[in-house]
Amino acid sequence: MGVESTRSRLVRRLRTRSGDWGGLLLGVTGSGCSGIQSALDPAGADAARIYWLTIILAIGGALIFVGVTALLLYAIFAAPARRAWLGGRRTIVYGGLAFPIATLSLLLPYGLTVMRDVDAPAEDALQIEIIGEQYWWRVRYPASREQPEIVTANELRLPVGQPITISVTATDVIHSLWIPNFGGKIDMIPGRVNRLSFTAERAGRYRGVCAEFCGDQHARMAFDVLVVDAAGFAAWRAAQAEGAREPPTPFLQRGRDLFRSGGCGSCHAVRGIEASGTFGPDLTHVGSRRTIGAGQLPNNIGTLAGWIANTQHIKPGVRMPSYGMLSGEDLRALAGYVESLK
Amino acid sequence: MSALEFPEPAERAPSDFPNPLPRPEGEFDALKNTWHPPRGISFITAVNNTYVGLWYVATAFLFFVLAGILALMMRAQLAVPENELIGHDLYNQLFTMHGTVMMFLFAVPAVEAASVYLLPNMQAARDLPFPRLSAYAFWAYFVGGLVFFSTIFFGLAPNGGWFMYPPLTGTTYSPADNADWWLLGIGFIEISAIAGAIEIIVGVMKTRAVGMSLDKLPVYSWAMLVFAAMIVVGFPAIILGTLLLEMERAFDWPFFIAARGGDPLLWQHLFWFFGHPEVYIIFLPATGMVSMIVPAMAQTPLVGYRLVVLALIATGFLSFGLWVHHMFTTGLPKMSLSFFSAASTAVAVPSGIQVFAWITTIAAGRMKLTTPSLFVIGFLFIFTLGGLTGVMVAVAPFDWQAHDTYFIVAHLHYVLVGGMVFPLFAAFYYWVPVASSRALSERLGRWVFGLMFLGVNITFLPMHVTGLIGMPRRVYTYPVGMGFDALNLVSTVGAFMIAAGVAIFLFDMVRNFRFAMENNAGNVWNASTLEWLPNGNYGTRSIPAVNSREPLWDQPNLSREVEAGRYYLPGTVTGGREALVTSPFDARPQYILQIPGPGWQPVLAAVFTAAFFLLLTVKLIFPSFICGVLAVGCVIWWLWETDPGPVRPPADIGGGFTVPVYVTGPMNHSWWAMIVLMVVCGMIFTCLIFSYLFLWLVNPGAWPPAHVTLPEAVWPFLAATLYAAGAFAIMRASRLLRGDARSAPRPVPILIGTALVLTCGASAVDFLTLWQTGLSPSVHAYGAAVYAILSLQVFFVMTTFIMGLYTIARWLASKLDPVRRTTFDNMMLFWYYTTGQGLAGLLVVHGFPRLTGGS
């Protein structure tokens, strides 16, 4: 525990400094670099290592670039007598052969060291499984010790400071899991299981996206990552393991009945109301998620109703059809029920 | 007297020239008449490199503009977040087509096209050795490329990204024809590229100015030689990849379907084994151009010639060892990532050598800031930056973040726009005076450069940041409030600046380009190489002897003397088109190659080839088949006129050289071409065996799968014996074709016929052996791989069959005898290859599963 907190303090410090560096180095709008989906705003040791690698590579590259450009301009514009020393075969041997070999010989071991230290699985890591599907994320926390399995979608909740190992694969086409604030990406390939290990060391909300082109709605395949403290995580996990909440009002009960009669359960699972479809996301606790549509819209009754009625307009090509035939009242009841599944 | 021992030019007496003056009356006119292009509609049957080269360059540039327009549409869509200008469906087609067209229809054809035009001129050859092959390659590309591009207007364009990863591009997730357009469309454009590569290799090695030994070869020729060799080695991987994916789509053979033993990663290996070298395939010719332009602009020879040539060769070799750096995020073990990471950084070294060679040359001379110079400077600036970000992404952990983001979009455009487009524009401004009676405008050129240079940097520099702050590539839109907005808007503005620059360039071309043959603008830059000699359709009046790398600087009167006809072969000795073939190392005259002239055959063959593939794409099987037969027919008709035999005794070309007008065997140019073609075929087969073994590694416990029984060993032995017997019959026939007799012994066609029966029989036994075991190609990847090996072999046997019949027909027409036997030699080489491939295939298919302990 002590080690962990030291580490996270270290990362916090790194982060503050790196934020300055990033702004200084890249000279872009300040808001850009620090963000919920930015490799330049690391929130874990792995991402921080890669961040510093990025900074060193960028500074080194910039210096070499300035040097080469300066030499080129000197070769063009300096007086012939002054630039004569540059015009021999020696320049090529030193500049084009010796210098790159020396630089790369230094760079390569550093890069390999970073590679060794980043994405290294830890013994006690929290295991998570994510399956990429067109165009959403199936998330499973397998049972471990006394914790039961939980299944959710399009949202990842992580305990701060605990090592994480995510096993990924895909059932349809290749996707790629990328949460820039925590480290690199890992491809989700049908028939193969890949692993990504990292530790989230700063609580907060982040965003992951699909990085491998996966079809029509590749652009709209994202998810939230919520990093919470250990107690919050435990509470969330316990809540997720529960069955679905009974609708407390007649209006919401009507929504549940519509959910049943409308056949929603043939694609979606809601544990507790004999809806056990596995084709689409598990909705048992969909109301507890921040967003819907794989990170597309904030989660509330209005957006849920809009989504149900207009999926094909909001995210054309998505597997779920638009249910535009529902009356306004029915739609509100259904959306209300779904929203109540906290 | 030897070509290599000329005295110094200044002190040369008239008698030292290969041919005396005055030249005979009518000699020059006869030469001109021979090379005159056809008139009227038949003009399109011209095959001369000057015409085909220019059409080729113009077509490639057309595709550059078209693909650029697609890019502008994408930039317009991405200008603001959540834009509804272009829907996802069109957008996905746009980026797929932009990448595909830029890579396959612009970049590779453009550099190949430029060399069709430039190489013969630079080496003072009258033409390339196979002008009809160039014409065929051009027309297939022209027709096929335009039809392929037009699919975008019908919503049929491929939409799976230019690297077409399955399973997204398999039938399950891409049921429409869009993916087939890519696979078949690109498939035959690759064939066109390989035809060009064979032409270039033989052209560089065999048709040069006398005395232009390898150490005096222009750097551009070296670059094109490496380029062509890389195509020969690299393109087969993608040809095989597209074949496998198309077989999966058409016949449900599961090479890439994980549920049935396939693996999506197989495609990625095949694709990037081609795809990474592809970048250098595009880049090396451009560096070759820069290495010609810089010395001319600085008025001093290139410093470090040998280092630059070594760097070109090293780049070629290294580029085949780094394909995995496109796959750093696929979950490969860190051990192999380390290896490919090291190899990927290492390739920076040869590029560094070239960059410093140019800087050194500039420093050694006095750089004139002309438009070509500006583009070269712009190239050095942009490419250096792209190269440095290339080193960044070669470091695997950084790539885990950068991969598939806008950082990569920025990097690849810096490398390709900097490394290829800028040199190409430099080349346009530099070499237009060779092809036009007027140079392009220096004043407009500065505007073109300024807009393009600023535009490229404004477009792509911000993208480095856009990517690192989280924007993945290939997204048709992005959410508000992620910090992407301003950066994207800036990129869009930059893209339109590039477009403005290109528009001014087009205006400049329209205003100033005036096609010229004999009255071109001349050596406006006081450059040193042979393309600046006075020339016409026929190339140079006489083939010069050179004794340095800068002949026009070191042999001051060369132009006048060449034009007067004082050098080799100042006319035509056979009355037809000719090229002087020289030895590959020291470029001594070897023989006179009788070059075919204009003809409809290559045009028609190309049109039918394109039609075959395109009709196949839209599943019009029967018309497609008809076109395929017609294409083969046209090729046979075209070939019938080749292999002319010794139409006259050896001719005196001057300087004491009396050379034959026909040779056979390893000295012959078509023997060389055949060897290169066999390398291509061998690479395709090697890639197929790699695929077989790769699929085995994926299914180590199921090779063959449990339900499969292996045929008894006696059958493959029988097939192998028949293959060997067929090859033996061909060897006997070859023995009978020795000597100087001008009639072929009767057993020759009988032996060929016997060999045909034996080889076809071998293939049939091979097929039936597998068939009787009930092995299905669609149940498991094992069956698919086995049937793929068999199918490739059947295709080769069928080709051999046609060649065998053709050779017999040549005998029947009395066009085959021990002297005139090039047709036979080509068939023989191909036959030996087919036999070897058949034996290797049998060994793998029947031996390997026994080795791995299959049931």
Mean pLDDT on B806-819? 95
Q: Reply yes or no on domain A126-240 having CATH 2.60.40.420.
A: yes
Residue A20 has pLDDT above 90, yes or no: no
CB distance A215 to A173 below 8 Å: yes
Across A61-70, b (16+ Cβ under 10 Å) vs e yields beebbeebbe
> Where exactly does CATH 1.20.210.10 map onto chain B?
59-512
Q: How confident is the model at residue B831 (pLDDT cuts 50, 70, 90)?
A: very high
Q: How confident is the model at residue A33 (pLDDT cuts 50, 70, 90)?
A: low
In chain B, the residue whose alpha carbon lies closest to the alpha carbon of A27 is B465
- Looking at the structure, give the CATH architecture of the domain made up of residues A250-340: Sandwich (2.60)
Residue B13 has pLDDT above 70, yes or no: no
CB atoms < 10 A from the CB of B740, how many?
7
The 8-class DSSP code of residue A78 comes to S
Mark yes or no for CB contact A32/B334 under 8 Å.
Answer: no
pLDDT one-digit tens code per residue, B109-161 = 999 999 999 999 999 999 999 999 999 999 999 999 999 999 999 999 999 99
Mark yes or no for CB contact A65/B172 under 8 Å.
Answer: no
Q: How confident is the model at residue B854 (pLDDT cuts 50, 70, 90)?
A: low
Mark yes or no for CB contact A211/B365 under 8 Å.
Answer: no
Calpha distance B301→A253 (Å, rounded)? 87
Tell me what pLDDT residue B15 has.
Answer: 61
Portion of chain B with pLDDT greater than 70, in percent: 98
Portion of chain B with pLDDT greater than 90, in percent: 92
Strands B651-654 and B657-659: antiparallel
**B567 in helix, strand or coil?**
coil
All residues at 6 or more sequence positions from A257 whose CB lies less than 8 Å from its CB, including other chains: none
In DSSP notation, A97-166 reads: IIHHHHHHHHHHHHHHHHHHHTT---TTPEEEEEEEETTEEEEEE--BTTBPPEEEESEEEEETTSEEEE
Mean pLDDT on B792-807? 97
Mean pLDDT on B755-782? 95
Mark yes or no for CB contact B474/A86 under 8 Å.
Answer: no
Which residue has 């012939």 as its token pair?
Answer: A80
Choice between A273 and B681, residue whose per-residue pLDDT is larger = B681
Tell me what pLDDT residue A3 has.
Answer: 41
Cross-chain CB nearest to A219 (options B400, B470, B475): B475
Gyration radius of chain B's alpha carbons: 28
Tell me what pLDDT residue B186 has.
Answer: 85
Q: Tell me the three-class secondary structure of A294-326, residue by residue.
A: CCCEECCHHHHHHHHHHHHHHCCCCCCCCCCCC
Calpha distance B732→B750 (Å, rounded)? 11
| A7/chain B closest Cα distance in angstroms | 21
Tell me what pLDDT residue A22 has.
Answer: 41
Residues of B in contact with A100 (CB under 8 A): 348-349, 352
pLDDT one-digit tens code per residue, B314-358 = 999 999 999 999 999 999 999 999 999 999 999 999 999 999 999
Tell me what pLDDT residue B853 has.
Answer: 66
**Type and span of the H or E element at A83:** helix A80-83
Domain coordinates in residue numbering, chain A: 2-117, 126-240, 250-340
Q: Which CATH superfamily is domain B665-851 in?
A: Cytochrome c oxidase, subunit III, four-helix bundle (1.20.120.80)
Across B369-382, b (16+ Cβ under 10 Å) vs e yields ebbbbbbbbbbbbb
Instruction: Report how many Cβ contacts below 8 Å link chain A to chain B.
Output: 275
pLDDT one-digit tens code per residue, B384-429 = 999 999 999 999 999 999 999 999 999 999 999 999 999 999 999 9
In chain B, the residue whose alpha carbon lies closest to the alpha carbon of A209 is B472
Residue B707 has pLDDT above 90, yes or no: no
| A196/chain B closest Cα distance in angstroms | 9
Report ipTM (2 d.p.): 0.93
Residues of B in contact with A72 (CB under 8 A): 359, 362, 377, 380-381
Calpha distance A12→A7 (Å, rounded)? 9
Mean pLDDT on B818-841? 97
Best CA proximity match to B111, nearest among B290, B297, B304: B290
Angle between helices B178-206 and B131-150 (to 10 degrees): 160
Mark yes or no for CB contact B487/A28 under 8 Å.
Answer: yes
Mark yes or no for CB contact B304/A92 under 8 Å.
Answer: yes
Mark yes or no for CB contact B331/A187 under 8 Å.
Answer: yes
Q: Reply yes or no on domain B59-512 having CATH 1.20.210.10.
A: yes
Tell me what pLDDT residue B173 has.
Answer: 95
All residues at 6 or more sequence positions from A52 whose CB lies less than 8 Å from its CB, including other chains: A14, A18
Best CA proximity match to A204, nearest among A38, A92, A72: A38
Calpha distance B815→B638 (Å, rounded)? 15
Calpha distance A289→A298 (Å, rounded)? 9
Backbone φ, ψ for residue A269 (5° rounding): -95, 135
Mean pLDDT on A268-288? 93
Tell me what pLDDT residue B518 has.
Answer: 80
Q: What does pTM read for this prediction?
A: 0.94
The burial class, CB within 10 Å (0-12 / 13-18 / 19+), for A24 is exposed
CB distance A274 to A263 below 8 Å: no
Mean pLDDT on A83-109? 94
Tell me what pLDDT residue A2 has.
Answer: 40
Tell me what pLDDT residue A5 has.
Answer: 44
CB distance A312 to A322 below 8 Å: yes
In chain B, the residue whose alpha carbon lies closest to the alpha carbon of A212 is B404
| A264/chain B closest Cα distance in angstroms | 24
pLDDT one-digit tens code per residue, B460-485 = 999 999 999 999 999 999 999 899 99
Calpha distance A214→B169 (Å, rounded)? 10
CB distance B399 to B329 below 8 Å: yes
**Type and span of the H or E element at B657:** strand B657-659
Choose, out of A108, A196, A197, the residue to mutate when testing the contact with B (most B CBs < 10 Å).
A108
Strands A204-210 and B657-659: unpaired
Mean pLDDT on A68-77? 96
Choice between A22 and B351, residue whose per-residue pLDDT is larger = B351
| B373/chain A closest Cα distance in angstroms | 10
In chain A, the residue whose alpha carbon lies closest to the alpha carbon of B359 is A72
Residues of B in contact with A96 (CB under 8 A): 307, 311, 349, 352-357
In chain A, the residue whose alpha carbon lies closest to the alpha carbon of B158 is A215
Q: How confident is the model at residue A10 (pLDDT cuts 50, 70, 90)?
A: very low
Calpha distance A33→B767 (Å, rounded)? 62
Question: For residue B403, what are its two tokens?
Answer: 């991969």
Calpha distance A12→A10 (Å, rounded)? 5
Cross-chain CB nearest to A191 (options B258, B398, B486): B258
Calpha distance B671→B829 (Å, rounded)? 8
Residue A24 has pLDDT above 80, yes or no: no
Arithmetic mean of pLDDT over chain B: 94
Calpha distance B438→B683 (Å, rounded)? 45
Tell me what pLDDT residue B529 has.
Answer: 96
Same fold, A126-240 and A250-340: yes
Q: How far is CA A35 from CA A32, B401, B490, in A?
A: 7, 15, 20
In DSSP notation, B278-347 reads: HHHHHHHHHHHHHHHHHHHHHTSPPTTHHHHHHHHHHHHHHGGG-GGGG-TTS---HHHHHHHHHHHHHT
Tell me what pLDDT residue B743 has.
Answer: 85
Q: How confident is the model at residue B664 (pLDDT cuts 50, 70, 90)?
A: very high
Residues of A in contact with B392 (CB under 8 A): 54, 57-58, 61
Mark yes or no for CB contact A88/B355 under 8 Å.
Answer: no
Cross-chain CB nearest to B396 (options A91, A111, A218): A111
**Type and span of the H or E element at B659:** strand B657-659
In chain A, the residue whose alpha carbon lies closest to the alpha carbon of B161 is A213
**B729 in helix, strand or coil?**
helix
Mean pLDDT on A285-292? 96
| B90/chain A closest Cα distance in angstroms | 10
Calpha distance B477→A295 (Å, rounded)? 14
Across B808-844, b (16+ Cβ under 10 Å) vs e yields bebbeeebbbbbbbbbbbbbbbbbebbbbbbbbbbeb
pLDDT one-digit tens code per residue, A102-159 = 999 999 999 999 999 999 999 999 999 999 999 999 999 999 888 899 999 999 999 9
All residues at 6 or more sequence positions from B434 whose CB lies less than 8 Å from its CB, including other chains: B118, B121, B520, B521, B531, B532
CB atoms < 10 A from the CB of B400, how many?
25
Mark yes or no for CB contact A65/B354 under 8 Å.
Answer: no
CB distance B120 to B35 below 8 Å: no
| B468/chain A closest Cα distance in angstroms | 5
Which residue has 């029984």 as its token pair?
Answer: B709
Choose, out of A37, A92, A186, the residue to mutate when testing the contact with B (most B CBs < 10 Å).
A92
pLDDT one-digit tens code per residue, B719-734 = 999 999 999 999 999 9
Which residue has 């995510």 as its token pair?
Answer: A166
Portion of chain A with pLDDT greater than 90, in percent: 85
Strands A126-133 and A163-170: parallel
Choice between A12 and B97, residue whose per-residue pLDDT is larger = B97
**Type and span of the H or E element at A198:** strand A194-199
Question: For residue B464, what are its two tokens?
Answer: 């480095």
Across B97-106, b (16+ Cβ under 10 Å) vs e yields bbbbbbbbbb
**B124 in helix, strand or coil?**
coil
**In DSSP terms, which residues pair with B593 in a beta bridge?**
B579
Question: For residue B759, what are its two tokens?
Answer: 């080889």
Q: How confident is the model at residue B4 (pLDDT cuts 50, 70, 90)?
A: very low
**In DSSP terms, which residues pair with B469 in a beta bridge?**
none
Residues of A in contact with B470 (CB under 8 A): 35, 37-39, 180, 207, 209
Is the N-terminal amide bond of A135 cis, ω within 30° of 0? yes
- B762, HSE (Cβ side, Cα atoms, 13 Å): 30
CB distance B86 to B76 below 8 Å: yes
Mean pLDDT on B792-811? 97
Strands A222-228 and A269-270: unpaired
The 8-class DSSP code of residue B623 comes to H
Across A300-325, b (16+ Cβ under 10 Å) vs e yields ebebbbbbbbebeebbebbebebbee
